[in-house]
Copies of this chain bind each other. A is one copy, B any other.
Amino acid sequence: MNRNPQLNKQGELQHLLTTEGLPISILRHILDTAESFAGVTEREVKKIPLLRGKSVFNLFFEPSTRTRTTFEIAAKRLSADVINLNIAVSAQSKGETLLDTVNNLSAMHADMFVVRHAQSGAAHMIASHVRPDIHVINAGDGRHAHPTQALLDMFTIRRYKQDFHNLRVAIVGDILHSRVARSQIHALTTLGVPEVRVIAPKTILPSKVERLGVHVYHDMAQGLKDIDVLIMLRLQNERMVGASLPSSEEYFKYYGLTQEKLAMAKPDAIVMHPGPMNRGVEIDSAVADGKQSVILPQVTFGIAVRMAVMSILAGN
């Protein structure tokens, strides 16, 4: 029985919805394919005709210029036609159901949907209703998953650290509200990282987070010891209100990544951040722009990884 809604009957990638339960062979196939595309973005002419004549719909029910842009660039470099739909402001407000909207767009002979939605499970729901020749990519759903972000993070780690099997990775910050963290943890675990740590105050950690296979730390000094890879999460200002956190200054004091705190990790540790950064809240500018930061390479690799996902899906 095929219980994984992301795979077709041959066990190939049909949709990319989450890194949870994704076989290691598919994870590696995406990373290897992305390697071959990483060169394309540095060539003089950056176009490849792999998706020529295909229509990629960016369905953003939640605004995100940055993520939408990376998918748009990736699709255009594969020569696809890209249709940007900011659904929040149109059909939905006319009372149409999400499923009717998607069915209508499918009927226009879409080939791929890139979906961003504030509700967890939205991309899954869409994937389970589209025609079999349409592919769905989850570009972030609620607090649930953001698989292409996690994949570009894995690509970045592999580029700088080669092997996953001897790494200690720490994810620092608002794990509770982060779909990025969830997707990273699943990918890291599948790829064989022996020790994944989460470092945060209790108020922004999910209850029973240990079940995901991570080690919990509330103190940076302890949590950063012997760490090879640091992933800093964005702290959204709206979380600061009320009981969860006292103030951004207080947060920075205990959990903000400074050169001093970074010195507690291994000397060759790399620093990652999914962006957009709050400088002076979760990360100090000296670190963000410092030698150990790979934050901008992450963005560059994100194009290659999204090209890889799209081209693999289009071939299955």
Contacts and interface: CB of A to CB of B under 8 A. Distances in A.
Nearest to A44: B53
Interface of A: 41-47, 52-55, 63-66, 69-70, 72-73, 76-77, 81, 83, 85-87, 89-91, 94-97, 100-101, 103-109, 237, 275-279, 296-297, 299-300, 302-303
Contact of A96 (B96, B275, B297, B300): B275
Contact of A73 (B97, B108, B278): B108
Contact of A303 (B54, B89, B109): B109
B300 A107 contact: yes
A49 to B, nearest CB: 9
B42 A46 contact: no
A297 B91 contact: no
A66 B83 contact: no
A78 B127 CA distance: 29
Nearest to A76: B81
A41 B106 CA distance: 12
Contacts of A277: 96, 100
A68 to B, nearest CB: 9
A43 B86 CA distance: 27
Contacts of A296: 103-104, 106-107
A65 B85 CA distance: 7
Contacts of A299: 104, 107-108
Of A42, A104, A296, chain B has the most CB atoms within 10 Å of the CB of A104
A108 B70 contact: yes
Nearest to A279: B97
A316 to B, nearest CB: 14
A150 B88 CA distance: 27
Contacts of A89: 63, 65
A227 B43 CA distance: 52
B41 A45 contact: no
Contacts of A43: 53
B85 A69 contact: yes
17 contacts: A45-B52, A46-B109, A55-B76, A63-B89, A64-B90, A73-B108, A73-B109, A76-B81, A94-B276, A96-B277, A100-B276, A100-B277, A101-B276, A104-B275, A104-B276, A104-B296, A108-B300
